[in-house]
Each structure stands twice: as C-alpha cells, then as structure tokens.
A and B are shown apart, each in its own frame.
Chain A
Amino acid sequence: MVSLIQKSSLKLLLLGFGIVALLSSMLASMLLGIHIFDVHTLWLSITQFNGSQEHLVLRGVRIPAACIAAVVGANLAIAGALMQTLTKNPLASPSVFGINAGAVMFIVLSLSVFKVDLPFEQMIYIAFAGAAITAVMVITLGSAGKEGFMPVKLTLAGAAIAAFASSVTSGLMLLNNDSLTEALFWLVGAVYGREMSELLTVLPYMLVGWIIVAFMFRPLNVMAIGDDVAKGLGQRTMLTKIAIMVVVILLAGSSVALAGPIAFIGIIVPHICRYLIGNDHKWLIPFCAVAGALLLVSADTAARFLLMPKEVPVGVTTALLGVPFLIVIARRRTYE
C-alpha cells in the first residue's frame, strides 16, 4: 500500500498546516454561534474578565467547548488508530472495547438507582469507572480460554459486551421515563454544557495516555506487521498489548466521560490519515490527533448553525461531515 504523501518534509509541512487549521477552527468555534463575537472581546474576556454577559458566554460556554472538542477529537482518533493496530481489524474503534456502551450503562444505572441528578463531577467519575470496568472485562474475556489473547476473540467479546450493555441501557430507559431526557444526552454525545473544571478533572489521565503513546511509536510499527513477526523480532508483545489497552482505556474513557459517546471519529480519522501519510505510527499518531481534533471542533461549530437556535449534538454533524470523505477515500484506495 502506497500512501499519498511519501516525503518527510511534505508530511511535516502538512502537519504544520493541520495545526494552523486546528487553531483557526478553535478560534472560529469560540467566536461563531448564535452570538458572534470579535477577537478583541475574546481577548478581553480572558485578560480582563468583567462579568458581563458576553464574557460569561465566552468563558463559560465557548472556550470550554472548543477545548473539549479538540481534546476529545484527538483522543478518540488516537484510540481508534491504536485499536486498529492492536486488533488488526480495520473496523475496530474504541467502542469495540465496550467503552462507550459501558460508560453509558453505568450512568443510566446510577441515574435510575439514585433517582437524583448527580453533580457532573461525580458523573464523570462514574462514566470513567464504567468505561474502565467494561474494558477490563472485555480484555479478560478476550484473553481467557485455551489459546490465550487473540485479537479476534477480543473483538468479538467487545462486540458482545457492548451489545449487552446497550441493551441494559435501553431497558432501563424504557422502564423509567424520568431519566430519559437526562440519559438522552449520554446516548448521542455532545461537547457543550461542560465547564473548564470538568476538563481539568480528567486532563491528568489524558496526559498519562499521551505520554505513554509518545514512547510507543516503534513497538507499534512492529506490532502492526503481525504478532508472530513482532515476537520473532524480540518484542515483548504482551507488554505492548497491555500498554496499548491502558492507553485506549485512558484516552477513550476520559473522552466518553467528558462528551458522551461520539462515534465515528475513532474509525474515520485513522483511515483518512493512513491514506494520506501511510502506516508509520511516528507520523500516524500525531496526524490522527490533529485531524481528529480538527474534525470534532469544526463539526461542533457547524452543529450550531444546523438547527438554529437549538444545538444539534456534535455526533450528528461528525457523521454528516465525515461520510463524503470516507466514501471518496474508500473508492480511491485499492484493496486486495
């Protein structure tokens, strides 16, 4: 398979361009919406916060939304790329670990057990715990049995547990209608309505994930060739696999805690990046991070204009924006 761009200098240029695009789209996301602000107001709201309504909107809604969208988009894209490398299945994404479904199930479960609206800070921890517990369960089941850890088994166990969790979720939701509206948020995913402090709560986990992945480019490249080859080359494959799984749980778990289950980015962005710059993880992971962030931020901004004055959950727009890309790329590449 030959990627579109071969030269390292061109890749670097493209990455730089991507970062610039990301920053400008974040800026646009802070400024545009029902109320349109100018850069000066934005600057003033950060440096000289005066409590006016404009400043409140900017600091309380727009800036957190842009930052969360960027972080979550990057996380999901990286996690997707890692999952595809780990399972050698192009259809794999963080949701295959049951992370989304597990987090949502725990949220809805706690909503219907406690019958009160929990503060979001606690919600985030519940979602995170749910994501981690399901992921660990999937991994244990996927590596149990005679043959030990096998990507196919892992994938299947993940799909089964995800199906189980989402069916429990919809059962609970249908049983008590009260929690329905609250839970609907967790079914579609969105980046608005969150505060900076909530981002800061989960940021440490994300940082750990990013740092681990930064040290793993070479083992990832070896792992992508195949388990047997990796073993033959002297890689401790089990260690690499565990590291990948830890990173995926950290990144995807914190993302789902922040923004709910935003599908699609984890599948589509790695595919687009592989097409552009190839399979070398040294390039792939940074590209995925930038492209994922860019896609989610611009999708979130676009979402505000779709159904004014209502806000459309960003999951809707990511899909509508991403599909044409996906079709073009899938048609361009030759398989088999």
Chain B
Amino acid sequence: MNKQITVRSTKSVFSTQLSSKGIRVIALLMMLVAITSVVSISIGSMQIPLRDVIAVLFGAHHDMYSIIILDLRLPRTLLAIMIGAALAVSGTLLQGVIRNPLASPELTGVTGGASVAAVAFMTLGSGQWSIHWIPLIAIIGGMIIAMLNYICAWKGGVSPYRLVLIGIGFSTAMSALTTFLLISGPAFLASQVLGWMTGTIYGLSMDYVWVILPWFCIFMPLSLLLARVLNVHLLGDSVACGVGNTVQRHRLLLLFISVALSGAAVGVAGGISFIGLMAPHIARKLVGPLHGVLIPVSALIGALLLLVADMAGRTVFSPTEIPAGVFTAAIGAPFFLLLLYKGRSSTA
C-alpha cells in the first residue's frame, strides 16, 4: 500500500527511495508554502489584494504596490523560506549524525559562537561600524566555535557522543559569555540584543537574500546527495563501517554542511530556536525516517513554520513587531505535541 520507488542516477551518486506517501506529502507542503508566501506578501500594515500580489510577482507593474512587494515584502518572504529550510535541514542532518533526538543546530556551538560574535560587535563596537557587518561577523564566529568543538572532540576519530557533550559545554560557555557581555554593556542595548537572540527577519532587504543564497544553493543539494549516507549512519558506526561507509569522513562532511546551513541562517536572522530541533521530528512523524524524503519534507516544514511565524509576528500585535523567533515555537510546539499525542508512528 505504501509503494517504494527507487530513484537512482546512472553512476549512483544520487540514490534514494521515495514512497508514494512521501511524494504526496512533499507536493502538499510545496503548495502550502506557495500559498502562505502569497498570503504573507499580501497582508501587513497595508493590505494588498491577492490578485495584485500575484500579478506583480509575475512581472506586472503597479504604481503603488510594486515597491512594497518587491523591495519590502518579497525579500522577507524569500528569507523566511530559505532560513527556515536551512535550519530544518541542518537539524535533520545533525540528528542523523549524532543519533540523538535532542540534537539541534545549537549543539554544534554555531548559534552560541554567532551570538557572542554579534553581541560583542553590538556592545563593544558601540555603533562604530555599520550593522550590515553583523551577518558576516556572526557566521565567522559560529564557524570558529563549531571548528573548535570538532577539534576538541577529535581523538583518533569523532564519536557522536563526545561531540555532543563538548558541544553542550561550548554552547553553554558561549551563552554565558553572551550574558556577560549583555550585562556589562549599556542597558539600552539589552532589548536590541534580546531581539537578535530571539531571532527576527524584520527589516531585512534584498542584500541579505544575496548573503544567504550561495550557502543555500550549494549545501541544500549536497545534503540531498548525502541522504543515503545518513540512512547508513543511523544504523550505528559498526554497521556503517561494515557496509563500506567511510564513517569519519562522511561525518565530518555532514557536520560541515549542517554547520554551514545553520551558520548562514543564524548570521542573517539571529538565534531562531525550535525549527532546527523540532522540524525534523515533525517531518519524521509525517513520512518516516528515510532521509531521501525526510530532508525535503523537513526543509518545507521549516520554511512553512518560519513563514507563518513571521506573518504572525507582523500582524498579531500590530503595530508592534514581535520577532519571528517568538512565534516559531508558539506555532510549532502545539502542532508537534498533537503529532506526539496521536503517536501514529513510533519512530522518534
């Protein structure tokens, strides 16, 4: 009843099994993302009719709406999709590599490193340099800490368990440092920094789309190529070794992709929590644990979550803007708990 279709390229670089249910779920989610994007562009402090939104998106010109749609709302919507997807895939890869359901991109130290770098920039730089440097600074900070984490966990190979333990250490130390900077800095920065730490895509322009696009275009397809490697990793190191997988090399590669995706996302949007942790679980509840389907489904769910969260952040307490990071969990958690409650598949 749940037929598996094997998709394989000739040199079998890419090989995966798609279930018919998986394909249905992917199609449905894609439609949902498209509809939500259009709705998200149309609503805000100025309501734009859906018909005009679609017309402008397809190239028509409108005196008033064109600027709002193309310069303000479209970048934001695109960013929400890319950042949500990046975080979700990053979490999926990490949970696969580490084989622990509590793993989230924060555990690699990326978020912590990025936060420290960004907050240090905000408090110590005291407005000397343009805030447009924050994404770059944050990505560099996140990468450095993730690398340190990997080096500290390396001892003739990296075991997932050691990596996670040291990762917890690093991310706690980093969040401690962030708090330290926060309280030693001027008080008026506290709410700005807090907003960044919660994660927001408020006021991001097209420039930021170009910042994150290369990361997204390189690492997303790569993660799909590695789906079958991940499936093997799930079975444990010894089995993976036994079926001819170069465990350490692939682990490094997978971790690197995960770090790169979440690093870019965190750099642009700040510390949006929940998506990296829970989107993979939601996806797993929907389509099961095989990564060929799991990765795209989880990416779509991440995108959808952040789109809806951003929309809620703009409209619920209008005119006050609430960071999207506040709503990712507020919307995602009840949904996840519902799935958990129904308990349709026991794979978690």
- A interface list, Cβ under 8 A from B: 89-92, 96, 141-142, 144-147, 152-153, 155-157, 159-161, 163-164, 166-168, 170-171, 173-175, 177, 180-181, 184, 188, 263-264, 267-268, 271, 306-307, 310, 312-313, 315-320, 322-323, 326-327, 330-331, 333-336
Residues of B within 8 Å of A267, CB to CB, are: 168
Bound complex: CA A307 to CA B340 (Å): 46
- Asked if A312 contacts B183 (CB within 8 A), the reply is yes
Residues of A within 8 Å of B322, CB to CB, are: 171, 174-175
- Asked if B330 contacts A164 (CB within 8 A), the reply is yes
Bound complex: CA A145 to CA B323 (Å): 33
- Asked if B190 contacts A90 (CB within 8 A), the reply is no
Top 7 A-B pairs, shortest CB-CB distance = A145-B343, A319-B176, A164-B333, A167-B329, A163-B329, A171-B326, A326-B169
B348 at the interface (CB under 8 A from A): yes
- Asked if B161 contacts A160 (CB within 8 A), the reply is no
Known: A141-B337, A174-B194, A319-B175. A335 touches B161 (CB 8 A): yes
- Asked if A331 contacts B162 (CB within 8 A), the reply is yes
B128 at the interface (CB under 8 A from A): no
Bound complex: CA A327 to CA B176 (Å): 17
- Asked if B330 contacts A168 (CB within 8 A), the reply is yes
Chain B binding surface, main DSSP class? helix
Chain A binding surface, main DSSP class? helix
Bound complex: CA A126 to CA B91 (Å): 34
B170 at the interface (CB under 8 A from A): yes
- Asked if A167 contacts B330 (CB within 8 A), the reply is yes
Bound complex: CA A163 to CA B278 (Å): 10
Residues of B within 8 Å of A174, CB to CB, are: 191, 194-195, 198, 322-323, 326
Bound complex: CA A268 to CA B167 (Å): 12
- Asked if B198 contacts A326 (CB within 8 A), the reply is no
Bound complex: CA A167 to CA B340 (Å): 20
- Asked if A323 contacts B169 (CB within 8 A), the reply is yes
Cβ-Cβ contact count across A and B, 8 Å cutoff: 166
Bound complex: CA A326 to CA B172 (Å): 11
Bound complex: CA A272 to CA B184 (Å): 31
Please give me the residue from chain B that is nearest to A164 by CB atom: B333
- Min distance, Cβ B157 to any Cβ of chain A, angstroms: 10
- Asked if B346 contacts A147 (CB within 8 A), the reply is yes
Known: A174-B326, A315-B176. A161 touches B337 (CB 8 A): yes
Bound complex: CA A335 to CA B326 (Å): 37
Q: Which of B151-182 contact A (CB under 8 A)?
A: 152-153, 155, 159, 161-162, 164-166, 168-170, 172-173, 175-177, 179-180
Bound complex: CA A156 to CA B340 (Å): 9
- Min distance, Cβ B83 to any Cβ of chain A, angstroms: 16
Please give me the residue from chain A that is nearest to B316 by CB atom: A171
- Asked if B166 contacts A330 (CB within 8 A), the reply is yes
Residues of A within 8 Å of B169, CB to CB, are: 268, 322-323, 326-327, 330
Residues of B within 8 Å of A145, CB to CB, are: 340-343
Residues of A within 8 Å of B346, CB to CB, are: 147
- Min distance, Cβ B345 to any Cβ of chain A, angstroms: 10
- Asked if A326 contacts B330 (CB within 8 A), the reply is no
B59 at the interface (CB under 8 A from A): no
B219 at the interface (CB under 8 A from A): no
- Asked if A170 contacts B194 (CB within 8 A), the reply is yes
Residues of A within 8 Å of B317, CB to CB, are: 175
Bound complex: CA A175 to CA B317 (Å): 9
Bound complex: CA A95 to CA B298 (Å): 26
Known: A180-B190, A263-B172. A336 touches B330 (CB 8 A): no
Please give me the residue from chain B that is nearest to A189 by CB atom: B179
Q: Tell which of B168, B176, B273, B337 touches A167, judged by Cβ atoms closer than 8 Å.
A: B273
Residues of A within 8 Å of B332, CB to CB, are: 160, 163
Residues of B within 8 Å of A330, CB to CB, are: 153, 162, 165-166, 169
Residues of A within 8 Å of B52, CB to CB, are: none
Bound complex: CA A316 to CA B183 (Å): 11
- Asked if A144 contacts B341 (CB within 8 A), the reply is yes
Q: Which of B86-111 contact A (CB under 8 A)?
A: 100-102
Residues of B within 8 Å of A307, CB to CB, are: 180, 184
Bound complex: CA A163 to CA B271 (Å): 13
Bound complex: CA A156 to CA B335 (Å): 13
- Asked if B180 contacts A316 (CB within 8 A), the reply is yes
Residues of B within 8 Å of A326, CB to CB, are: 165-166, 168-169
Residues of A within 8 Å of B73, CB to CB, are: none
B150 at the interface (CB under 8 A from A): no
- Asked if A319 contacts B183 (CB within 8 A), the reply is no
